[in-house]
Chain A
Amino acid sequence: MGKTLAEKILSQKSGSNAQAGNIVVAEVDLVFAQDTTGPLTIRQFQTSRFEHLANPNKTALFLDHAAPSPNYILSSEHMLLRHFAQQTGCIIFDVGDGICHQLVAESLAKPGDIIVGADSHTVTAGGLGAFATGMGSSDIAIAFGLGKTWFRVPESIKVVVTGNFPEGVYAKDLILHLIGSIGANGATYKALEFSGDTVDSMTMSQRFTIANMAVEAGAKVGLFPADNITKDYLMLQERGNHYQSVFPDADATYEQTININVAELEPTVSKPHTVDNIALAIELKGTKIQQVFIGTCTNGRLEDLAIAATILEGKKRHSETRLIIAPASRQVLLAAIKAGYIQSLIEAGAVILPPGCGACLGLHQGVLGDGESCLSTANRNFKGRMGNPQAFIYLGSPATAAATAITGEITDPREVV
């Protein structure tokens, strides 16, 4: 019987015939934690009386959520992570290197891998054909020690994407549309597997944006095939040797197939306080926005900054709308400087934050005031998410964000270009 991408990867890594509904134990190719989940992971690892990591070179820590640290307590947690890395020999990325999921994509994830991380957006690496999923600190601590974990093999929903993106419509609009259609609970425990003509020509940056938000529909993974575009990306990252093609079988069994023609989509926005609460950007015209945030593991890549810089070049942010930008990694930041995007954005009135997560989860750097509204390119708009339960978060594409920064109200990007 044919296998879905999820079944294929889990079969390979568990050495069994993994079919939807089975429980399997599988080796992990990468296990990681970040600075808000890592300390508990380390404490659970120590409580479990492990003395060594199963695979130090497949274990990583990322200091990205509070980077640089806003207070002494989190600074001490950073020290704990650095000390653990020194003691165990695991990989560590420090303050300023970037967001864990972007660094995993750039440097560590390989097609066909199993990756578990103590962060829900670990699903991002599904963009290059890795079975990548988020877990909590206890699960990650045990994977640190044993080099493996258990999985329930998920049923898969096939999402077939066709058509050409119209002007002003991007991968972000597609994934917001999908989540709005199936609901924030629509793929819980399941795999979302993407295919179709549009996927075949989609850039890696777009694939990461979509895979990243699979979890916002409840999915365990958001999987893309690993094809020539994946290969080109890995070669650009100087790790072409990490490439292998990964495709589902033609006769695989899917629980459901969803067809989306992107030619019919329009710029889409999630309204407060759930991601599936979608509307068209044009329907929200007139909604005043006090802060625009462009960045995160969803939309902080070079392509995203290029889109924003192109729209904002030679223009100014609205006088009552702050514009905050956080590139997803040091590599992205350097490339954006070289391309002139950072200059255009700063001239348009933007504040550039160091690569990291802080503003997205309300930890620091861009916390909203009472009653304020933010248009963010992030993946979550939950109540309290950006540091204040009295604030309102709208989610959209970098183009919608840039257009909104100019007008000061939610704006369909086609109105300003």
Chain B
Amino acid sequence: MLTGRAFKFGDDISTDHITPGRLAHLRSDPPELAKHVMEDADPTFASRVTPGDFIVAGANFGLGSSREHAPLVIKIVGVSAILAKSVARIFFRNAINLGLPVLICDTDKINDGDKLEVDLAAGTVNDITNGNRLTFSQIPEVMLHILDEGGLIPYIQKYGDFKL
């Protein structure tokens, strides 16, 4: 069971909002880059987020660049999962490859600052603050296996190949 606070964002949060190109020189130092996480969407986010919290977004979260640094900095600051109405393709794969869960659900029912409980195995989100209970759709099995192993690198280290 994951528990934490909801940090609410709108639709079309791009990888440039999450980790902009102007900070490309910090990509060799991910903890330093992570101090700027989500800077162009909410400059106060990095100072307010605490380990276990959730990013709760609208549609098409993570659109744009293939930069894996985007889910990487979100993971480094301790976000335990991203909840969104939909997520862009490359970001989705990148997040799962880093062992960061991305859960597709109706995030309109969650408010900024709400306390959430997420049960990954049961596929449910419990909004403790407003009492709403949501379910999220299942991800493809191959991604579930990668997530179970903590990401693509540990998955390949364990199996040596893709096991479909």
Q: Do A and B come from one complex?
A: yes
- The answer to whether B88 and A384 have CB atoms under 8 Å apart is no
Distance in Å: Cβ of B63 to nearest Cβ of chain A = 6
A155-B111 Cα distance, complex, nearest whole Å? 34
Also in contact, A139 and B16, with CB within 8 A (given A188-B86, A363-B21):
no
- The answer to whether B157 and A361 have CB atoms under 8 Å apart is no
- The answer to whether B88 and A218 have CB atoms under 8 Å apart is yes
Also in contact, A47 and B153, with CB within 8 A (given A137-B68, A152-B140, A362-B22):
yes
Contact residues of A between 109 and 147, Cβ < 8 Å to B: 117-120, 122, 134-139, 141-142, 145-146
Also in contact, A387 and B22, with CB within 8 A (given A134-B66, A380-B64, A382-B16):
yes
Distance in Å: Cβ of A183 to nearest Cβ of chain B = 8
Contact residues of A between 330 and 385, Cβ < 8 Å to B: 361-363, 367, 380, 382-385
- The answer to whether B22 and A367 have CB atoms under 8 Å apart is yes
B 71-111 to A, binary, CB cutoff 8 A, 1 in contact else 0: 11000000000000010111001100110000000000000
**Cβ of A70: which chain B residues have Cβ within 8 Å of it?**
25
A36-B68 Cα distance, complex, nearest whole Å? 10
Also in contact, A218 and B97, with CB within 8 A (given A23-B164, A146-B161):
no
Contact residues of A between 250 and 280, Cβ < 8 Å to B: 274
Looking across the interface, which residue of chain A has its beta carbon closest to that of B11?
A185
**Cβ of B88: which chain A residues have Cβ within 8 Å of it?**
185, 188, 218
Q: Does A189 contact B (CB under 8 A)?
A: yes
Looking across the interface, which residue of chain A has its beta carbon closest to that of B60?
A185
**Cβ of B63: which chain A residues have Cβ within 8 Å of it?**
184-185, 218
Chain B residues touching A, range: 35 or more
Looking across the interface, which residue of chain A has its beta carbon closest to that of B69?
A40
Q: Does B65 contact A (CB under 8 A)?
A: yes
Q: Does B67 contact A (CB under 8 A)?
A: yes
Looking across the interface, which residue of chain B has its beta carbon closest to that of A72?
B25
- The answer to whether B66 and A119 have CB atoms under 8 Å apart is yes
Q: Which of B12, B22, B98, B151 contacts A274 (CB 8 A)?
A: B12
- The answer to whether A36 and B67 have CB atoms under 8 Å apart is yes
Q: Does A192 contact B (CB under 8 A)?
A: no
Contact residues of B between 41 and 77, Cβ < 8 Å to A: 59-60, 63-69, 71-72
- The answer to whether B140 and A136 have CB atoms under 8 Å apart is no
- The answer to whether A138 and B94 have CB atoms under 8 Å apart is yes
Q: Does A177 contact B (CB under 8 A)?
A: no
**Cβ of A74: which chain B residues have Cβ within 8 Å of it?**
24-25
A150-B152 Cα distance, complex, nearest whole Å? 12
A188-B64 Cα distance, complex, nearest whole Å? 12
A220-B89 Cα distance, complex, nearest whole Å? 7
Q: Does B28 contact A (CB under 8 A)?
A: yes
A 135-168 to B, binary, CB cutoff 8 A, 1 in contact else 0: 1111101100110111010000000000000000
A 65-88 to B, binary, CB cutoff 8 A, 1 in contact else 0: 110001101101100000000000
A172-B102 Cα distance, complex, nearest whole Å? 33
A73-B152 Cα distance, complex, nearest whole Å? 27
- The answer to whether B93 and A135 have CB atoms under 8 Å apart is yes
Q: Which of B17, B66, B153 contacts A384 (CB 8 A)?
A: B17
Q: Does A230 contact B (CB under 8 A)?
A: no
Looking across the interface, which residue of chain A has its beta carbon closest to that of B151?
A138
- The answer to whether B20 and A389 have CB atoms under 8 Å apart is yes
**Cβ of B72: which chain A residues have Cβ within 8 Å of it?**
40
A 214-227 to B, binary, CB cutoff 8 A, 1 in contact else 0: 00001010000000
**Cβ of B68: which chain A residues have Cβ within 8 Å of it?**
37, 40, 118, 136-138
Also in contact, A76 and B66, with CB within 8 A (given A185-B86, A383-B40):
no
A188-B98 Cα distance, complex, nearest whole Å? 21
- The answer to whether B21 and A37 have CB atoms under 8 Å apart is no
- The answer to whether A150 and B157 have CB atoms under 8 Å apart is no
Distance in Å: Cβ of A381 to nearest Cβ of chain B = 10
A39-B69 Cα distance, complex, nearest whole Å? 11
**Cβ of A25: which chain B residues have Cβ within 8 Å of it?**
162, 164
A95-B117 Cα distance, complex, nearest whole Å? 49
Distance in Å: Cβ of B21 to nearest Cβ of chain A = 3
**Cβ of A40: which chain B residues have Cβ within 8 Å of it?**
27, 68-69, 72
Also in contact, A184 and B12, with CB within 8 A (given A37-B68, A220-B89):
yes
Contact residues of A between 188 and 234, Cβ < 8 Å to B: 188-189, 218, 220
**Cβ of A71: which chain B residues have Cβ within 8 Å of it?**
25
A66-B164 Cα distance, complex, nearest whole Å? 38
Also in contact, A382 and B28, with CB within 8 A (given A37-B66, A37-B68, A146-B161):
no
Chain B contacts to A: CB under 8 angstroms: 12, 14, 16-17, 20-22, 24-28, 39-40, 59-60, 63-69, 71-72, 86, 88-90, 93-94, 97-98, 140-142, 151-153, 156-157, 161-162, 164
Given contact pairs A73-B25, A362-B20, A363-B22, enumerate 17 new A-B contacts (beta carbons under 8 Å): A25-B164, A37-B67, A65-B24, A118-B66, A135-B94, A136-B71, A136-B94, A138-B97, A138-B152, A139-B152, A148-B162, A185-B63, A189-B89, A274-B12, A382-B64, A383-B17, A389-B40
* Those 4 A-B pairs whose CB atoms lie nearest each other, nearest first: A361-B21, A136-B68, A136-B94, A138-B97
